[in-house]
Structure 1
Amino acid sequence: MKLSAKQIKIKLEEVMDPELNISIVDLGLIYNTKIIKNKV
């Protein structure tokens, strides 16, 4: 399966900060993503 930046962002939005219960994307902890040879 080929990954897309959109698919990666959707999955990262599911990762929650355990103390704040807010996604790491919403907290601004993800600045960018890079896909190289189907690896993130």
Structure 2
Amino acid sequence: MAATSEWVGWYNQRRLHSGIDYLTPAEAHDLHQPMALAA
């Protein structure tokens, strides 16, 4: 169970995603959060 949890964390947070220009989700969030706050 712990291995599955670790894999899900890696997949959702640290893996480079082609759909968001090969950024990690955390990097994409950091780039887009200032725009969302300004709106």
Q: TM-score, normalised by structure 1?
A: 0.30
Larger radius of gyration: 2
TM-score where L is the length of structure 2: 0.31
